[in-house]
Structure 1
Amino acid sequence: MNDDLLTTFLAVVKAGSFSKAANNLYISPVSVMKRMNTLEVNLDFKIFERNSQGIKLTPAGQSLYESAQEINTLIVNSIQKARTIAQDDKVTITIATSLLRSCRPITDLWSQTRNSKFKIRIIPFEDDPASLHNITIRLGKDIDLIVGPTNEDYLMNNNFDFFNLGDCSCNIAVPQNNRLALKKKLDWTDLAGQTMLLLKKGMSPKIDELRNDIKLNHPQIKIVDTSHFYDMEIFNYCVENNYLMECPSIWENIHPSIISLPMNWDYTLNYGILSSSHSSKEVKEFISLAGELYLQEH
C-alpha cells in the first residue's frame, strides 16, 4: 500500500464518507473514490460496504484499518531506526521530488562537485494536495528537504526553514488553442476578456495581491478559483476550458499543451529549499552548500 492510498484510506475511515475525506485532503471526491477503488483492486477484497447512508468497513476492512494505523505510526520510526543503525561514512540527504517541484536544479549541480561527505536519496511524489501535504509533514523525519515554489505561510511558520534561491517571476500559462499563444510577451490589455484561474482567496498572500489588482484595476478579466495548490490536473483543467493561469517561470515547459509567456508585471513567487527548522546540523550544512552553489551558477 503506497503512502497516498494509506493516507486516503485512513482519512476516509476517520471522516466517515468520501466527500468529507475529500474536503479534509483538499482533493475531489472522485479522486478519493478512485483511490479507494484502486486499493480494493490491489488487495483483491472489499474494504467498504457502500449504501445510501454512507460507507461502512467490512470485517476485512476493519482489520486493515487497525493495521494501517499501526503502520502509519511505525513507518517513520522504522526508517529513522534503520538510518541510525546503518553505519555509513556518508551522510544521506533525502530529497522529495515531483514534476512541479523537481530537485534537479540542486542535484544536477551537486553531481558535478567532489564533495564526498553527502550522498543523496530521492523520494518521488505526486503533486496532488494530499501527497504534497504528506511530504511536508514528513520534513525533518524521513524527508530532509524539498525544492520549489513556496507559499508565504511556510516562511512565517517556525516549524520550517527556507533557503531562498531567488524569487522567480510569474508568467501566464496559455493553452495552445488560445489566441494569446501566438504572442511572445503579454501585458494587461492582452488579458481583457480572458478567464484566469487563481488560487482561492487566503491560500497565498501574493496571489491575493494579484487577485485584488485584477478586481480593482482590470475588472474585464474573469477570475475562476481553484481550491488547492497547482498540480497537473489543474493544468489539464485550464487546457480543457481555455483558461489562463499564473505560474512560476520555472514551469515553462511543464505541459505539452500550454505555453508559458512572460507578463509585463512585477509579480514573483518565492523559490528555494524548504526544510524542517529541527533539521540536523548535517542537513543544514548540505542546504547551505547546495544553496550557495546554485546561487553562484545563477
Structure 2
Amino acid sequence: MVAEQGSFLKASKECYITPASVMNQINKLESLVGVRLIERTNQGTRLTAAGRAFYQDAKKLIRQSEQAIARARQIGKDEQQTIRVGTSILRPCKTLVDLWAGIDDGTLPVAIRIVPFDDDPASMEAMLDSLGREIDCFVGPCDSLTWRERYNILSLEPVNCCIAAPRKHRLAKKEMLQWSDLDGETLLLVKRGDSPVLNRLRDEIERNHPQITLLDTPHFYDTNVFNQCEQMGCIMETLDIWRDVHPSIVTIPMMWDYKIPYGIVYAKKPAAPMQTVVTMLRSRLITAGVS
C-alpha cells in the first residue's frame, strides 16, 4: 500500500492504522529482507530498484495465494454438492440423467458425476458394499428382498420380462411368444433366490411347463450371460430395457404378466446432496403420476 499510495500517511489511511505502525512494519520488512526497499523523501516515498522487484513478486504471490484459496473452496463446495451415479452396461444411468435434466435448469446446487462399474457378480457385490461412500446411487432392476432391507429404493416404472434368443434361433423372427413356443427349449434363468418375481416365474415353469429345461444363471446378469445364450444357441429370460445389449441377441415380448421392479438404489443414510436429489425426483414422479 505504501508503494501504491506513495506515502506512509496515505497508506495508513487505506489500512486503517497509524502512520507509525506503517513505518514500523516497513522497517521490520527491510530488516528481514536485508535491503532498503523504500526511499523516504520530503515529498513522500518511492520504491528502490530492489523495492520495485520485491513489490512485483509479492503481488504475484498474493494473487496466486488468493487463487489457490478460491480453488480449494470451490472444490470443497463441489464435493459437498455432487452425487456420484454408478453406471454400467446393464444398469446405465441414462434414466436418472434424463429425469434430472427435466428438473435442473442449470441453477440447482447439485451436480452429477458418473462413476462406471462392472456388472459381474463380484463387482456388483463390491459396488453395493460401497454404496453411500464411493457411489451414491445407481439405476436398475431391484426385485430383491435383501436390497429392500439394506438400501433405499426410489421406484420407477417396472420393466417387462421378455425372452431373448440368438438371431439364428428358430424363435428369433417371432414378434410375440407364448408358452407353447418354449416347449423343448433350454431357458437361462436367474437361480432361485430373493427375487419374488423370478421365483414365481420359475415356479410356474416347473409346475406347468416341464417341457422347458431350466439352466441357472448368477443372481446378477452380466454380458457373459448374453454371450452364453448366443454360444449355446438357447434362450434366456431378459428385460425389455436390455434389448440392445448384445448385437447377436434378439429380445422378444412374451405373453405373460411378469414385470421386474425398477428404480434408483441408494444408501439408507444418504448424504445431503443425494437426499436433495431424491426429494426433487420424488416430487417430479408424483407430479408425473408415477407411484
For the criterion TM > 0.5, the same-fold answer is yes
| Equivalent runs, 1:115-126 vs 2, <5 Å | 115-126=107-118
Residue 144 of structure 2 is matched in structure 1 by: 152
| Equivalent runs, 1:131-146 vs 2, <5 Å | 131-146=123-138
TM-score of the aligned structures, taking structure 2 as reference length: 0.69
> SS at 1:215's partner residue?
helix
Q: CA deviation at 1:153?
A: 2.2
CA contact (8 A) 1:149 1:248 kept: no
Instruction: Give 1 or 2 for the bigger CA radius of gyration.
Output: 2
Question: Would you say 1:95 and 2:99 are equivalent positions?
Answer: no
CA contact (8 A) 1:105 1:294 kept: no
Residue 257 of structure 1 is matched in structure 2 by: 248
Question: Would you say 1:128 and 2:158 are equivalent positions?
Answer: no
> SS at 1:182's partner residue?
coil
CA contact (8 A) 1:171 1:248 kept: yes
CA contact (8 A) 2:152 2:266 kept: yes
Tell me the distance in 2 between the aligned counterparts of 1:291 and 1:253: 28
Q: CA deviation at 1:249?
A: 1.3
Tell me the distance in 2 between the aligned counterparts of 1:121 and 1:170: 30
CA contact (8 A) 1:168 1:250 kept: yes
> SS at 1:169's partner residue?
strand
Tell me the distance in 1 between the aligned counterparts of 2:277 and 2:204: 39
CA contact (8 A) 2:193 2:219 kept: no
Tell me the distance in 2 between the aligned counterparts of 1:281 and 1:154: 24
Q: CA deviation at 1:292?
A: 4.8
Letter in 1 for 2:113: R
Match of 2:230 among 232, 239, 244: 239
Residue 157 of structure 2 is matched in structure 1 by: 166
Residue 96 of structure 2 is matched in structure 1 by: 106
- Equivalent residues, number: 216
Letter in 2 for 1:243: C
Classify 1:284/1:173 alpha carbon distance in 2 versus 1 (closer, same or farther; 3 Å): same
CA contact (8 A) 2:153 2:263 kept: yes
Letter in 2 for 1:91: Q
Letter in 2 for 1:247: T
Once the two structures are superposed, residues 160-210 of structure 1 have per-residue CA deviations (whole angstroms, 9 ceiling, x without a partner) of 100100211101111111110010011101111111011112252221111
Classify 1:83/1:263 alpha carbon distance in 2 versus 1 (closer, same or farther; 3 Å): farther
**Where do 5+ consecutive residues of structure 2 fail to align?**
1-71
> SS at 2:128's partner residue?
helix
TM-score of the aligned structures, taking structure 1 as reference length: 0.67
CA contact (8 A) 1:162 1:273 kept: yes
Tell me the distance in 2 between the aligned counterparts of 1:84 and 1:181: 54
| Equivalent runs, 1:201-212 vs 2, <5 Å | 201-212=192-203
Letter in 1 for 2:94: R
Question: Would you say 1:192 and 2:186 are equivalent positions?
Answer: no
> How high is the sequence identity, in percent, across the aligned residues?
39
For structure 1, which segment, 254-263 or 201-210, has the greater mean C-alpha deviation from structure 2 after superposition? 201-210
Spell out structure 1 runs of 4+ moving beyond 6 A.
Answer: 82-85
Letter in 2 for 1:116: L
Tell me the distance in 2 between the aligned counterparts of 1:146 and 1:83: 28
Residue 248 of structure 1 is matched in structure 2 by: 239
Letter in 2 for 1:107: V
**Where do 5+ consecutive residues of structure 1 fail to align?**
1-81
Residue 278 of structure 1 is matched in structure 2 by: 269
Residue 288 of structure 1 is matched in structure 2 by: 279
